[in-house]
Structure 1
């Protein structure tokens, strides 16, 4: 702050020093003026000026120090008290701008809330004809047509489900309900939903669950498993997807392993980034780059870590590590 203060007052300091040097110069040129007394006066003046600077430094920087230490938020209760007319101008400007920002933020929040509610309402409305469509598809006799229609229905269903959870993710903490959850039920329910797609692609499942129960939120775990299975099915062909669960160091570990196209090593660290699709298959317009991003967000809220092992052309293994039961306190206190 001292350096800033000197930089702010450098013109005044320069003027003061220049003025006294000019007085000394005049006394030196004019023999009628005694040089020693004038030098003495200049010396005393410099001392007084230094004392004045120190006093003014404390007085003039108090406001700015408090302003600098203030938290970067829109709370005006802890704003520094001004000591001069110029500081009052700054305070008035800060208050005015903050009030305008609050109004703009509130307006934006209300607009986003309205858009979110409208989209959620639309998704729920669309689910009704989708359910009716699924019932009509089930009544079809022609195998090939039924298979294709079921696949297209499933794609729409999964996209709507992803949108629904994307809107709920920011408020996931309000939606968590931790309970003993049956892994087998969740996994088999998700496989049943994706059954028609799996049949079409010739994909089977090898499931070995040494641990069948975890303490977590059933609804959000279903979403996580759905996204992982969807990804495995999407990039696999005529192969089995293996799902294992076991206990390791007091943690439940669930692995989803496929034999699909895999992920390039340079992409592995980016697959959970929002909007990232792929660098090896960049023209894949079907990919949204949102599935794994939402999966990671949901897993983080449940304190579930996700590890990825993959090689291009050699498949991918997604590993979920659930928190220890003692960590349940950390989840419920969020």
Structure 2
């Protein structure tokens, strides 16, 4: 580092050093031509050389000190220009003015971006809350429509067949409506996680109650796909945020149901960790390290056009903010297991 500073100093001051050296040589030649004794010339030149070396040494020390001051400012310069050293010359003052203008422009752009992001967040949050009203209304209309008899209802076996078709259609419509609602909730959670503040409320929570609420929301899907649910109560109370943990469990159940075409899903507690295990198609070994990356869908995600690559990213991010561990193991063709670990205080 010292050699680098020395080379930089010489490069910066080379013109002046060369000019002073040239003047010394010229004066020496003039004095010699005027038959001034060589001893007196040498004595004068030694005095000048000593003064020159002293001046260069002091200037070199000042140059190095200024360099170290600027290096020390690299951490705080991104926040404010107030700690910049006093300019030693007019060019340094000009450079500092330019830096000030750049800092002001940067702050203006940053404030504009923050304001636009805040407005966008407020709009989308309002939209998400408003869209829930027509979703709830549609759900009610679908349920009521299935119960309203037609003008000319058939009798006997035809009536039973028609009723089964209505029930099947109602079930499919409610599942699609549920999917819309889940995507809306996912969008809201994504926006909240990206905001400057979150609404995490950590407290002792009954884990089984959170699990039961999530399972109830997906009961229709279990029945429709004929997937068996194995669930033994954990009896655990954990330190967590009930709402956000519920969202994570719902996302994990959604993934398990999406990629399990037959078999079962098991929810239990092992070594203090909540486990959700399915007998689905599994995850390829090369995809497993990246499944929690934002937007990454992997091979199975490409095969399933409904995959967004956001669900597991949200789960991983939320659990990290809550202080919970998150582990995924899988074998392609056999199934997947996810594990959530809770703080020891739980």
* 1:155 equivalent in alignment to 2:179: yes
State the Cα distance separating 1:170 from its structure 2 match: 3.0
In 2, Cα distance between equivalents of 1:325 and 1:145: 48
* 1:127 equivalent in alignment to 2:132: yes
Cα RMSD (Å): 2.8
Q: Deviation digits for residues 149-208 of structure 1, max 9, x if unmatched? A: 011111101100000001111348541212221111111111111222222222121112
* 1:266 equivalent in alignment to 2:286: yes
Structure 2 regions of 5+ residues with no counterpart?
148-165
The residue number in structure 2 matching 1:194 is 218
* 1:245 equivalent in alignment to 2:282: no
In 1, Cα distance between equivalents of 2:263 and 2:196: 35
* 1:320 equivalent in alignment to 2:344: no
State the Cα distance separating 1:53 from its structure 2 match: 2.4
TM-score calculated relative to the size of structure 2: 0.82
**1:1-334 equivalence runs, <5 A:** 2=2, 3-4=4-5, 6-10=7-11, 12-13=13-14, 16=17, 20=21, 32=33, 45-70=48-73, 71-139=76-144, 140-141=146-147, 142-171=166-195, 174-246=198-270, 248=271, 252-279=272-299, 281-282=301-302, 284-325=304-345
Any conservation in 2 of the 1:63–1:82 contact (CA below 8 Å)?
no
Q: Deviation digits for residues 195-225 of structure 1, max 9, x if unmatched? A: 2222222212111233332121101111111
In 1, Cα distance between equivalents of 2:326 and 2:172: 33
Name the SS of the counterpart of 1:282 in structure 2.
Answer: helix
In 2, Cα distance between equivalents of 1:180 and 1:168: 23
CA distance 1:279–1:15, change in 2 (3 Å): farther
In 1, Cα distance between equivalents of 2:38 and 2:223: 107
Higher alpha-carbon deviation: 210-219 or 223-232: 210-219
Total equivalences in the alignment: 321
TM-score calculated relative to the size of structure 1: 0.85
State the Cα distance separating 1:282 from its structure 2 match: 2.9
Q: Deviation digits for residues 42-88 of structure 1, max 9, x if unmatched? A: 55545433322221133345444333212242223333332322221
In 2, Cα distance between equivalents of 1:44 and 1:228: 85
State the Cα distance separating 1:25 from its structure 2 match: 10
Computing the radius of gyration over CA atoms, which structure comes out larger, 1 or 2? 2
CA distance 1:243–1:38, change in 2 (3 Å): farther
Name the SS of the counterpart of 1:65 in structure 2.
Answer: helix
